[in-house]
A and B are shown apart, each in its own frame.
Chain A
Amino acid sequence: MLKTLQNLDRRWIFLSMLLAVAIPILTRTVFPEVVSKQAKMVFDAIEDLPDGSNVLMSYDFDPASQGELLPMAQAFTRHCSVKGHKQYYMALWPLGSPMVDLSIDTIQSEYPDMIYGEDYVKFDYKAGGEAVIRMITQDLRGMFPMDSKGVPLDNIPMTKNIKNIQDMDLIVNVSAGDPGTKQWVQFAATPFGLTTVSGCTGVQAPQMYPYIPEQLAGVLGAIKAAAEYEAAIDEAYPSIAENPRAQEAKRRMGPQLVAHSLMIGLIVIGNWIFFVSRKRGQA
């Protein structure tokens, strides 16, 4: 028993992980979500804004992290749209632009009465990372002379009177690394006291906690928080609850549960082998 486990071909473990994720996806098991404190904080930050507030949406992630962040990003878009907030989309990652396009597709297909230029606008990707953030806290036009359609900001109703992002009521940042949430906290939230919420990968989430609540109004950490956020939105807006596309993160919690359990099982067995073999003076 011990022997076989000790030199078990690791491809069996690969297989077990594959099944642990694949089977719940195919059986499409969905578990109820209890909205935790953080998810509530983020939800409230957007919910409590007066309708039609200015929200800057910075998508600082790429397709590689879609799995974790796209459901979050879409949930942010739906929540802001249903609240009628003015959404200003931008991206600090080169591959963030197409992620923004996905959110804009969502707006166009699910909120057709929202008008580009009045309710939402997209800015192109700009290189420079944190330097871009610093720049637009002072002078938006210096970085974005035009929107992504090539229209000067002065000819766009929703940007006409915006000098810099200090005119924003909230910054929503979806982040997969640097530049990302940390930079938004350092160069926008802290120096100018701009309210900021972040949806970030599990890798970053724990490092964001010290910023809460003063520098960050809330953090969504990885897919679980996204699922809770979706649940919070569903509670408040039945229209969204009926939309199967708005339940992505919730669906992905099925695989998470099984895979997490598998992980713990593997750690336990691994350590059991470790201790037993050490007792027998092998390791």
Chain B
Amino acid sequence: MSTDTTKQSNALIWGVIFIIGAIMLIWSMSTSRTGQVWVTAQQHAFTQLSDGSYTSTDAPASGDIEWTTYKKVSDRDLTQEMIDNGSATLSWSRTIGLWLAAIFTLFILSFLVGDNPAYKFAEAMVVGTSAGYVMVIGLWDVFVPNLLGKLFPTLVQSWALPGMDVAAGSQLLYIVPAILIVMLLFQLMPSGGWISRWPIAFFIGITAGYRMIGYVEADLVAQIKAGIIPLWITGQGGFELWPTVNALLLTIATLAAMVYFFFSIEHKGLVGKTARVGIWFLMITFGASFGYTVMGRIALLAARLEFLFGDWLHFIPSS
């Protein structure tokens, strides 16, 4: 296809897509609360007891700590009555969020028509947000309780983790991982990157240590053990043909496949034939793996379309 015809077809495709999209939107909006998120408010009030601790109360007085949280009402449960008596209210932030979510989803889908700025934009956001998000979790879930909490218990207790047990006092041993982290971050420096080799070496050593055990125990010894089965299977009714055949097949296949992975023997004669049988069984294995992978990929798409058609456009009951 020459470039200008491609351009034309692209323009055509975009046009068609936008028209279909518009029709769906209008239809959906005319029939349902498209992309609206309704919430119910929940009051939380806490009153102080004589011992200084707080307890939740239903009749907040002055001086109590109060706040309101909002819970999403799924489209399934939302009734006109709830809207009329004001128990359910429209949440603008969440509604906007939902529309954004839908639009970002479409941005990425647009890559199918051809690479375009919208896709690149969405992609750039994926990288940034997910990286930032992972870091936030790491800091709040691990760094604070497992490192700061051990080094400066009283501080952390009075700040972020009131429930924490400070009896143990600060455990100075945890200086070591703290220092290692600092050394690791030296890798960001233009020079002095070699300092980060210490923590990296620690990483690699530990990994090597437990991997070695884990793999020998679970993937080597235990797998050989699992492979040891009788090739003559008898049940209540005496000898059983099919189980025996299967056991035989399983054994031959395992051994043949292992022979294929021998590199000290030339694949000639019997060895060659066995290896050939082995590769066939490997291919069946890969075929199964292929099928399962495809199944998984499709499920992912189904979930996203359910989001678009359900949560956003309300063509189907939203989750």
User: A-side interface residues toward B, CB under 8 Å?
Assistant: 9, 11, 14, 17, 21-22, 25-26, 28, 64-68, 70, 94-95, 97, 124-127, 130-131, 134, 143, 145-146, 149-152, 154-155, 183, 185-187, 189-191, 201-203, 205-207, 210-211, 214-215, 221-224, 244-245, 248, 252, 255-256, 259-260, 263
Query: Chain A residues with Cβ under 8 A from B113's Cβ?
Result: 11
Do B319 and A223 touch across chains, with their CB atoms under 8 A apart? no
Inter-chain contact B137/A146, CB cutoff 8 Å: no
- Can you give 16 A-B contacts (C-beta < 8 A)? A11-B112, A22-B309, A26-B316, A68-B296, A146-B163, A155-B163, A186-B215, A186-B217, A187-B210, A187-B218, A191-B218, A202-B297, A206-B285, A222-B299, A252-B306, A256-B295
Q: Which residues of B contact A97 (CB under 8 A)?
A: 137, 141
Known contacts A223-B295, A224-B295, A126 near B146 by CB under 8 Å: yes
Instruction: Give the contact stretch, choosing among B88-96, B115-123, B221-229.
Output: B221-229
Nearest CB in chain B to that of A248: its residue: B319
Q: Are B298 and A256 in contact (CB under 8 A)?
A: yes
Q: How far is the CB of B53 from chain A (nearest CB, A)?
A: 14
Contact of A151 among B130, B163, B215, B304 (CB under 8 A): B163
On whether A260 and B295 interact (CB within 8 A), knowing A11-B113, A130-B210, the answer reads: yes
B residues within 8 A CB of A252?
299, 302-303, 306
The number of residue pairs between A and B whose CB atoms lie closer than 8 Å in the complex comes to: 163
> Chain A residues with Cβ under 8 A from B300's Cβ?
64-65, 67-68
Q: In the bound complex, do residue A202 and residue B162 qualify as a contact, i.e. CB atoms below 8 Å apart? A: no
Residues of B near A263 (CB, < 8 A) are 294
- CB-nearest residue of chain B to A123: B141
Question: What does DSSP make chain A's interface, helix, strand, loop or mixed?
Answer: helix
A17 to B134, CA, bound (A): 33
Contact status B289-A186, CB under 8 Å:
no
Closest residue of A by beta carbon distance from B135: A94
Interface size on B, residues (CB 8 A): 57
Q: Which residues of B contact A215 (CB under 8 A)?
A: 218, 222, 226
Within 8 A of A (CB), among B123-140: 130, 133-134, 137-138, 140
The answer to the question of B214 belonging to the interface, with a C-beta cut-off of 8 Å to chain A, is yes
A216 to chain B, nearest CB (A): 10
A202 adjacent to B295 (CB under 8 Å)? yes
Q: Which residues in A have their C-beta under 8 angstroms from that of B133?
A: 94-95
Determine how close the nearest CB of chain B comes to the CB of A165; give it in whole angstroms: 16
